[in-house]
A and B are shown apart, each in its own frame.
Chain A
């Protein structure tokens, strides 16, 4: 048990460090943390990857976590969803050496947004309004009512293998005329994106939800993330499709899915659990 006053009294820096000394200490501790340099996250990153969920994991795994860290950070993310750490996540966590949550880098424009944006740029090609294929950069090549997601899993810890991966998207409660409306949420891996035809998709996972449900929807992405880790060029992202009970595609937001807007801590994210494959030897300094 470790009281705060000890913490101040016994700090390892007892005097003003010269900048060179400070740099040396920083470099030495960074090398222990396995980091080539100190990260410089974007000051006000629009999408940070689920810090509350990760903080819940942190507090699960580190018994001596300083309660202040939690409350300090929690204060920063006031009013956020408590990203429930499921028993399954705890099992993944026990077995993992590293856990990473990734920001969604697709612009998150849904098919509908795309159509509205593009309608004043040029008329969509002939064909049914539903299969408007638009050109533009990759994350705009989506069908209407289809939400694209893309996660950069290329920068992951060296020498670590993926043991589990989950795509998480938050669903808000929505008030329906008839409260028992149901929706089907499907997540597809994009296999190919030929320039002049529809994307080739592989169905990964599905969830049936009630309009009145709220909380995190979790989709297993272990196999896909492992593929993307091994062959980054195959990482063409994900498509999420929402259908109503008649099988008609609907805008995901219609069912209360937060696809990119909404509070910082209800952003969709990918969380990946890693285990060290080989012992990492720190280079002598």
Chain B
């Protein structure tokens, strides 16, 4: 919402000051924390049909690398975090009003399919393609 005409100047300087403070807090935060929270990225996760004891009916594969997304979508988002424009704004607002606007989510931005070859009850053989089974890339939404 646009600030009232007469108080515009003082408002603007107030906002800039808040952003400066936010930037300082961000730098300080990551230093004092010591462990800078990891940014949003893909992590290993392997679904093993073998460990589920399904090798008598699943011919191939033995399992598949599903991966998962985890990590912070914290201000300032750097370029390799696949952040949407909306997520960048939301991150900023979260900093200014952390209790009103949550941080964006770290979630898959690209998913791949897999194929599974298996026997049915009558020993017919089925090859089935499944979509959206494997995380290819993560990002901030």
Residues of A that sit less than 8 Å from B by CB: 2, 6-13, 22, 25-26, 29, 32-34, 38-43, 45, 47-51, 54-55, 57-58, 61-62, 64-66, 68-70, 73, 96-103, 152, 155, 157
Contacts and interface: CB of A to CB of B under 8 A. Distances in A.
A62 B44 contact: no
B111 to A, nearest CB: 13
Interface residues of B, number: 36
Given A58-B115, A61-B129, A103 B52 contact: no
Nearest to A96: B129
Given A12-B45, A55-B59, A100-B125, A29 B115 contact: no
B44 A10 contact: yes
B125 A51 contact: yes
Describe B's contact surface by its main secondary structure: strand
11 contacts: A11-B46, A11-B48, A11-B51, A29-B52, A39-B121, A41-B56, A41-B119, A48-B125, A64-B114, A96-B129, A155-B120
Given A33-B116, A66-B61, A54 B129 contact: no
Nearest 3 A-B pairs (CB), nearest first?
Answer: A10-B44, A41-B119, A69-B60
A41 B5 CA distance: 77
Interface of B: 43-48, 51-52, 54, 56-57, 59-63, 65-66, 114-130, 133
Contacts of A42: 123
B78 to A, nearest CB: 25
A64 B60 CA distance: 11
A211 B17 CA distance: 91
Nearest to B126: A100
B62 A10 contact: no
Nearest to A10: B44
Nearest to B51: A13
A102 B46 contact: no
Contacts of A49: 123-125
A26 B49 CA distance: 9
Nearest to B134: A64
B54 to A, nearest CB: 6
B44 A25 contact: no
Nearest to A68: B62
B30 to A, nearest CB: 27
A49 B126 CA distance: 9
A70 B62 CA distance: 11
A49 B118 CA distance: 11
A111 B123 CA distance: 27
A70 B115 CA distance: 14
Nearest to B54: A38
A190 B10 CA distance: 90
Most chain B CB atoms below 10 A, which of A34, A43, A50, A61: A61
A265 to B, nearest CB: 11
A58 B115 CA distance: 7
A6 B44 contact: yes
Given A11-B46, A58-B115, A51 B59 contact: yes
A94 B66 CA distance: 23
A33 B119 contact: no
Contacts of B63: 7, 11
A160 to B, nearest CB: 10
B49 to A, nearest CB: 8
A199 to B, nearest CB: 25
Contact of B120 (A29, A39, A65, A66): A39
A41 B60 contact: no
Contacts of B123: 41-42, 45, 47-49, 103
Contacts of A55: 59-60, 117
B124 A61 contact: no
B116 to A, nearest CB: 7
